[in-house]
Amino acid sequence: MSAQLTETTHVETAASSAPDRRLNPFVRAGLLLLALLVVLALPWYIYPPVAMDIVAWGLFAISIDLLLGFTGLLSFGHAAFWGTSAYVTGLIAIRSGLPFPVAILGGAVVAMLIAVPTGYLAVRRTGIYFAMVTLAFAQMIFFIANQARDLTGGENGLQGIPKSFFGIETVETDPFYFYYAALPLILLGAFIAWRTVSSPFGRVLLAIRDNPARARALGYDVERYKIMVFVISAGIAGLAGGVFSVSHGFASLQELVWQTSGKVVLITVLGGIGTLWGGPLGAAVVVLLEDYLASSGFNGIGIITGSIFVLIVLLFRKGIWGTVADLVARIRSRGRTPGRRDA
């Protein structure tokens, strides 16, 4: 019994060595406050719809990081949850006239429901096989949405999604006020992700990521933990997809294609996996770059963005946030070394 307790403690200690856990609690609190201030100030300095895209894609990337960075599962089919929620949110908002927060929560719930059978099948595979199962499921959802034209609009998409918000017209007509009305849903998703990785449940996920065989030997039901985090991740992606569809006023097949899954994985890797902070940072880089190139009238957006992404990946091997965090940690450790004395 004591040996098992020692092993469990060792696993949890190893799992708690994630980059963000090395920060002083006061530093973490300061970073959280700074991030909140940046998010609140974003539409004052950036066109509000673009700011909304940044936070929506940032939350989508956080949902991917919850799987890839903290559980070691690479999903190439998360567009299924982002896109399904976008369509369901739109259908609820159009047909029921409910306020958009209620519609978005409904879309997130549906995303979590369809994630249950997907996760049950996918988590029994590892590595590229897990990624392929999720990709196949996303393609199946894409095919269904394309065929159900009477419901989804087919290639034309689901258009005219209202921004009804308890009868407040300024929110419905002004994207600046809509940003602040939708922001609590984004913060809710980010809080759920943060609370997940900061809990004992999150430490078990890290242990599963680092050594699933050892975690299983210690008595943890690895498959059950993977299914649970997969469903949580799908719900967070659903929140992001619902906000995105209401912000744009439509949901299209573009939300379900595999390129959308690839884009969010790229955003996550770009910002830094296993950090949660990296997703929003990578989203800001990608969305702002695409918006700038599109507004400048440049035709070869893919060539420029691809070249810049390759350059960033080569320069920042652990992503932007991971590389900066490691650099700060090294500077701090070097600064403390001269002051140490041997006992």
Q: Could you give the count of Cα atoms lying within 13 Å of 155 in the half-sphere of its Cβ? A: 0
pLDDT of residue 337: 55
Residue 71, C-beta contacts closer than 8 angstroms, at least 6 positions apart: 205, 208, 209, 225, 226, 229
pLDDT per residue of the chain (343 residues) written in tens, 0 to 9: 333 434 443 444 444 444 454 556 776 777 788 888 989 999 999 999 999 999 999 999 999 999 998 998 988 889 999 999 999 999 999 998 899 999 999 999 999 999 999 999 888 887 788 889 999 999 999 999 988 888 888 888 899 899 989 888 888 888 999 999 999 999 999 999 999 998 999 999 999 998 888 988 988 889 999 999 999 999 999 999 999 999 999 999 999 998 898 889 989 988 888 888 888 998 998 898 888 887 776 666 667 767 777 777 777 777 777 777 777 777 777 766 555 444 3
pTM score: 0.87
For the chain, the domains span 49-321
Residue 182, C-beta contacts closer than 8 angstroms, at least 6 positions apart: 52, 100, 101, 104, 243, 246, 247
pLDDT of residue 2: 35
CATH topology of domain 49-321: ABC transporter involved in vitamin B12 uptake, BtuC (1.10.3470)
pLDDT of residue 274: 85
